[in-house]
Chains A and B, each alone.
Chain A
Amino acid sequence: MIPVTPLIKPIHLHIPDGFLSLPIAVLFWILSILFILLAVRRTQREFGERQVPLMGVMAAFIFAAQMINFPVAGGTSGHLLGGVLAAVILGPWAGMLVMTSVVAVQALLFQDGGLLVMGANIFNMGILTALIGYGLHHGVAGKDRSIRLAVTGLAAWLSVIAGALATSLQVWLSGSALLQVIIPAMLGVHALIGIGEALITVAALSFILQVRPDLITPNPQSNHRRGWVAVGFLVSLVVLLLAPLASANPDGLERVAIDLGFYRQGQDPLYQIFPDYTLPGLGETPLSTIFAGVLGALFVAGITVLFTKVLRQPKKT
């Protein structure tokens, strides 16, 4: 029998519409759009007019590869999510574009994941995975084959954890879940799913290294290497620190979120970001909150742009 269901539901990280508050959804849309625009420009420079056919077919490949599963135990099966594999083989920017297309088609064609929350889904499954996967893999680029494979496996596992963690935090900040329930549940399940992801990613990479090593040789003239490695390690570190903190001490995290003004219990989540922020003339209306959310997002976006500027600088030297 041909397995059909995995095609429709490979992994439960796709947030449907209705689960995220508008400010959170808008915030992650803006973050994702920034990364996507950068990725479009970078891959255009790297691949030229080959970009469209290559990225398109690779996105279809990731989608099809998510169908390939293996039985684990008790009727469950292991799947590939593919974010790390795509970033390692094709590079971080191309990986982001490929995963963006996959998430977009899953949402638009199969309703797997919502439209309003697609920014968050792209961020969790395409951008975080590319940053972790490429960063960690590149950190050991010159090393022994077995070390590279091991680190890539670790990155694959971590990318699934990162996606689950980000999803939980977004849903929690939206007031749609309780932190001490969703974190252990999501992380517990995805710690297992991540093992399947790691095993398949390592096996696939090792196979490709054996058959077509020319496709994966790290770009020797890559000058931003240190930047990518730093970002990869930074994101991984945040995930590694935040995950145990959130599951062991949710009250602490809640305290931090309240102190930062991201979360205030007892209010409609729509009005929680920048609780004191109202725009003149708009008052306490949803419109004013959206503007506040957009302003907050622009602030984060500014930091991101600065960050990428710093990343880009070594190229000029």
Chain B
Amino acid sequence: MHVNLFDPYQSGKSIIHSMDPRAKLVVTILFILSNAFLPDGAWLAFLFSWGMVLFAGGLAGLGPFYPLKRSFIALPFFLAGISAIFAVPGRAIGFLDMGPWRLVATDTGILRFASIVARSWISVQMAILLTATTQFPDIVHALRHLKVPQILVSIIVFMYRYLFVLIDEAVRLLRARQARSAQSTSGTGGGSIRWRARVTGNMAGQLFLRSYERSERVYAAMLSRGYQGQLLTLNPHEWHLKDWLLSCLAILLLFLFQWIARI
């Protein structure tokens, strides 16, 4: 099995794909920042903001709703935000008794919760679009141009390179465990919880040793190829007129959304 399947990159030749990764990363971060600045209940601005994601998704040739389809990952965390309904004082709408406390749901609380969900959901969609149209090494390379420490960037490059190798390794370990243990109908797979946890811990330890030894081999191989503590790259990143135009357009739109939210 090849775990490259997980890579969210969707190859293509659109104007968004060919945009400079730095421009895309900066615009994405500014977009998320802009959403954070939109006040609670600025629905029109949220709508326009989402429209920008849809438009960019369409431009990228992925279809406007592609990011939406993949955006349900942040959903579990929304549970934590539900309590915001009770957190903000305002006009009482209903209440819920919970142990010693009486939680009062307010209209401003509901507004807050809905705004958090909107902000979060729109932001994650833009981030999805970024990874769908930019290869990960390019994103990391952009980080380096944005003054993230070189070493951290190199570590992330390496991590990405070996991620799929080690996931394959982990999948092999899981398959081996499955092949050697019959599964009871209760779904617990035999043995007490402690025993099961120990087996799992042994697998993690085994994976660590394999990884550690692999890192030593990798280092030896790098040395033999002339590594001197610097990673070199061959793909040049160049700003074109198009990158300037698209970035400026995006930033202009973001200011427009802020204005719409405040009129």
Contact = CB atoms under 8 A, between A and B. Distances in A.
Q: Is the interface of A mostly helix, strand, loop or mixed?
A: helix
Nearest to B108: A266
Interface in A192-214: 196, 199-208, 211-212
B73 interface: yes
Interface string A39-75: 0100010001111111111111101110111111101
Nearest to A1: B178
Contact of A57 (B120, B196, B211): B211
Interface in B82-100: 82-84, 86-89, 98
A110 B211 contact: no
B29 A67 contact: no
Interface residues of A, number: 94
A278 B207 CA distance: 53
B88 A175 contact: yes
B36 A71 contact: no
Nearest to A199: B197
Interface string B69-112: 01101101101111110111100000000100101000000001
B256 interface: no
A19 B77 contact: yes
Contacts of A21: 36
Nearest to B214: A57
B158 A57 contact: yes
B201 A206 contact: yes
B87 A203 contact: no
Contact of B119 (A18, A44, A73, A212): A18
Nearest to B134: A108
A56 B193 contact: no
Interface in B178-216: 187-189, 193-194, 196-209, 211-212, 214-215
A283 interface: no
A56 B201 contact: no
Most buried by A among B151, B157, B161, B205: B205
Interface stretch (B55-63, B165-173, B240-248): B165-173
Contacts of A105: 156, 159-160, 163
A311 B162 CA distance: 34
B87 A175 contact: yes
B149 A110 contact: no
A235 interface: no
A175 B112 contact: yes
B163 A182 contact: no
A61 B166 contact: yes
A286 interface: yes
A14 interface: yes
A81 B1 CA distance: 24
Interface in A9-28: 9, 12, 14-19, 21-22, 25
Contact of A101 (B1, B152, B187): B152
Contacts of B158: 52-53, 55-57, 59-60
Contacts of B151: 40, 44, 51-52
A265 B89 contact: yes
Contacts of A85: 204, 208
Q: DSSP majority for the B interface? A: helix
Nearest to B258: A286
B219 A54 contact: yes
Given A64-B207, A114-B124, A196-B197, A185 B80 contact: yes
Contacts of A44: 151
B114 to A, nearest CB: 11
Contact of A182 (B35, B80, B112, B187): B80
A104 B77 CA distance: 18
Nearest to A286: B37
B127 A49 contact: no
Contacts of A16: 74, 77, 120, 123-124
A109 B222 CA distance: 26
A16 B215 CA distance: 32
Contact of A176 (B35, B116, B171, B211): B116
Interface of B: 1, 6-8, 28-29, 32-33, 35-37, 39-40, 70-71, 73-74, 76-77, 79-84, 86-89, 98, 101, 103, 112, 116-121, 123-124, 127-128, 131, 136, 139-140, 149, 151-152, 154-163, 165-167, 169-171, 173-175, 187-189, 193-194, 196-209, 211-212, 214-215, 218-219, 222, 227-229, 231
Interface of A: 2-4, 7-9, 12, 14-19, 21-22, 25, 36-37, 40, 44, 48-61, 63-65, 67-73, 75, 78, 80, 85, 89, 97, 100-102, 104-105, 107-112, 114-116, 168, 171-172, 175-178, 180-182, 185-186, 196, 199-208, 211-212, 215, 265-266, 268, 286
In the complex, the 5 A-B pairs of residues with the closest C-beta atoms, listed nearest first:
A203-B201, A56-B158, A18-B120, A207-B205, A199-B197
